[in-house]
Structure 1
Amino acid sequence: MLSATSISRRSLPCALVLFAATIGFATTASADFKDELMEPGTIVVGTTGTAPPFTMINDSGELDGFDIAVMKKVADDLGVDVEFRQLDWSGLLPGLVADRFDVVASGVTRTKDRLASDQLIMLSPYIINGVAITKLTSNDEINNWDDICGKTVGVVRGSAEIDLIRASLPEGCLGTVKEYPGWTEMSLDLKNRRIDWLGMDYLGPSYLAAKNDTIAVLPDVRSPKTQSLAVAPDDEELAAAIDALITKYREDGTLNEMITEYFGQPVDFSKTPADPK
């Protein structure tokens, strides 16, 4: 009588052979992306913690936000741990290039230069946003985009919003631009009237304005854009594994559940703007 170990691969039913091959491929693919991680079994994520509600410190003193929830879900579905490291925005993408992180999760705008860059891998959209004017509610001098010409604007250092704003304004309109490491410092200067308005996205400040009636976000949103995660340039298998999940979350409603939880409103992914070229 033949033993089980003496049965040749050729004698196995086709379905069983295909199943075995599929399992082998999945194991190899899984091992590939795990081999790329900085730390065994852990995705190291760079984030600011200062861009609510994308990434923030909650009332319990814990790191929280949309990006944090997305990366925890991704790590769980990939069967690995996740470790978050906080840094000012201006240091995050350079840190990714310098192998300080596997992923940057901090509302990264998918710009033309970033999509074409060989210094990072931008994933497919996980949210749709745009740029808007944030001001003090008491400031009656700013009621639309025409009113900000010549006025001082605060922006997050290294962010993409200022280029989007500049491109949407008439030549010579943009006034003095002051850069800040994050929301806390910028909003303090707005409160103390050292700057006139904030040049930021629409969704993040809208979340904050809903909790603080001293600031207002004007409803005229310009330069529709998409945002997502950025992955280290040499981590192609990791990027592919995460992007497959982002695609799945976008299609099955998981992303909109998290977007609604953190931003208070869903987005319509059927209206995703084309990638900038």
Structure 2
Amino acid sequence: MLRKGLLFTFLISVLVLAACGQSDTKWDEVQEAGEIVAGTSGTLIAASYYTEEDELTGYDVEVMREIASRLDLEVKFEIMGIDSMLPALDSRIDVAVNDIEATDKRKEKFNFSDPYKYSYSTMVVREDDYSGINSLEDLEGKKAGGGATTIYSQIAEHFGAEVVTYGNAPNEAYLSDVNTGRTDVIVNDYYLSKFGVGAFPDFDIMLHPNLKFHPTEQAVVMPKDATKLQEKINEVLAEMREDGTLTELAKQFYGEDASQRPEGEIEEIEGLDL
């Protein structure tokens, strides 16, 4: 009986050690390579985009560069569409940084860092008539431009909109379609929408002035078992928050401190399974 008890204890210990070993694998791989591979789109103005000189930059990109630098790692960015980014964590990339919201459902499949950005959702609509939208319920029957797997498309569908999907298209394609009437609305992050609209002043589009909903937290995404990597990234993000680096980068790219929770009343949406 004693022998069985010792054997059971030994097996439990082996399983625990194996689990710990698995959780450290990603960090060991990254350290050995001296490089962390980050998936991003390169198409989100202010978050991840290319300058006129064809240089990749943006808030998410520069936050990731700073994280890698403080971990004594190089960073390599893999450009891909948002719909393929999370699946790529199983093979092609180590982390994903693309204004990705940390939701309960996603946390079941992936590890997330502490948030480096806080925001909420709003809509891009036509300026002349708000695209006939004055409430979330008015999304019913409208055409909403968006990625197939984004939270914003799920919100649009939740209220009855038809989602028109894109590949890894630039902001201009989404915004132009609202302008021309091919679509009616884009449900998206406040900061990204603000800079997207500002980049195309000749389009008949604007941020909806009255709709603020679905508060969000954006974070670095990594494989589910990458607990050591998660711990290391969180340590660096805490340093960056403490020394003001996150605030500085947020103001550089957004003109506001997106690293802090936004003020004001933001409507929560009931019944979403995100």
Structure 2 length-normalised TM: 0.78
Identity of aligned residues (%): 24
3-state SS of paired residue (2:132): coil
One of 92, 100, 110 as aligned partner of 1:108? 100
Gaps of 5+ in 1: 1-30
Question: Structure 1 124/164 Cα, relative in aligned 2: closer, same or farther at 3 Å?
Answer: farther
* Equivalent in the alignment of 1:260: 251
Q: Which residue of 1 aligns with 2:18?
A: none
- For the pair 1:188 / 2:176, whether they are aligned, the reply is yes
The equivalent residue for 1:53 is: 46
Are positions 1:150 and 2:136 aligned together? no
Which amino acid letter does the alignment assign opposite residue 112 of structure 2?
M
Aligned partner of 1:235 in structure 2 is 226
- Cα distance change on mapping 1:94 and 1:58 into 2, 3 Å: same
Find the counterpart in structure 2 of residue 65 from structure 1.
58
Show structure 2 runs of 5+ residues with no match: 1-23
Residue in structure 2 matched with residue 177 of structure 1 by the alignment? 163
Aligned to 2:70: 77
> How many pairs are equivalent?
238
Of structures 1 and 2, the larger Rg is shown by 1
Deviates more, 1:188-197 or 1:176-185: 176-185
CA-to-aligned-CA distance 1:74-112 (integer Å, 9 cap, x gap): 111111101001011111000012x21111010110111
Q: Which residue of 2 aligns with 1:128?
A: 118
**Does the 8 A contact of 1:46 with 1:101 survive in 2?**
yes
The 8 Å contact of residues 52 and 208 in structure 1, kept in 2 or not, is answered as yes
Report what 1:35 is aligned to.
28
Amino acid at match of 1:37: V
**Alpha-carbon offset, residue 188 of structure 1:** 3.2
> 2-side partners of 1:52 and 1:238: how far apart?
28
Helix, strand or coil for the counterpart of 1:108? coil
What is the aligned partner in structure 2 of residue 198 from structure 1?
186
1:247 alignment partner AA: A
Contact residue 119 and residue 262 of structure 2 kept, 8 A: no
For the residue of structure 1 that corresponds to 2:187, the secondary structure is strand
Q: Could you tell me which amino acid in structure 2 is paired with residue 125 of structure 1? A: P
What is the Cα-based RMSD across aligned positions, in Å? 2.7
Going from structure 1 to structure 2, the CA distance change for 1:140 and 1:35 (only over 3 Å counts) comes to closer
Q: Once the 2 structures are TM-superposed, how far is the Cα of residue 209 of structure 1 from its aligned partner?
A: 1.9
Over 3 Å counting, the alpha-carbon distance change for 1:57 and 1:139 in structure 2 is farther
Distance across 2 between alignment mates of 1:32 and 1:175: 43
